[in-house]
Amino acid sequence: MSQNTKKILIAEDDPFLVKIMANRLREEGFEVETANDGDEAMQKVKGCSYALLMLDLIMPNKNGFEVLQQMKEDHCNIPVLVFTNLSQEEDKEEVMSLGAKGYYVKSDIAIDELVEVIKENTKEKTEA
């Protein structure tokens, strides 16, 4: 991996969506790893070596809320963007209070727009 490659973890249990997101992000020069559930996501973030975590909230084993809570307890400061089908304001407030940097409803954001958000959030990490 080159010094300039930004590594992103996508924690999402929908294989079709993972494939679309991962392929698009790789086209943009990102290194992408995936996790199919919350337990796998937590195993992968233990080293805190990602520029960004794209996190679904509804996943098997450990949901996104639990992942965020565990990351907060473990002092893992990887920026997290939540990408979910949940659109209730209470869910957004909860994930933001747990440290998420952004909250996006899957049906409300186009993949190109999402890529731009990811670029902005990883730029801060590398320039800081």
Length of the chain: 128
In a domain? residue 128: no
Q: Give the total number of structural domains in the chain.
A: 1
Q: Is 100 within the bounds of a domain?
A: yes
The first and second tokens of residue 90, run together, are 């209470």
Q: Is residue 87 part of a domain?
A: yes
Mean pLDDT of the chain: 91
Range of the domain at 26: 7-122
Q: What CATH number is attached to the domain comprising 57?
A: 3.40.50.2300
User: Cα separation of 24 and 80, whole Å?
Assistant: 18
Does 64 map to a domain? yes
What is the average pLDDT across 112-120?
Answer: 93
pTM for this model (two decimals): 0.90
Residue with tokens 């949901």: 63
Residue 47: its pLDDT value, please?
Answer: 77
Q: In the chain, which ranges are E strands? A: 7-11, 31-35, 52-55, 80-84, 102-105
Any domain includes 2: no
pLDDT at 26 over 60: yes
- In this structure, is residue 114 part of a structural domain? yes
* Residue listed under structure tokens 């893992």: 76
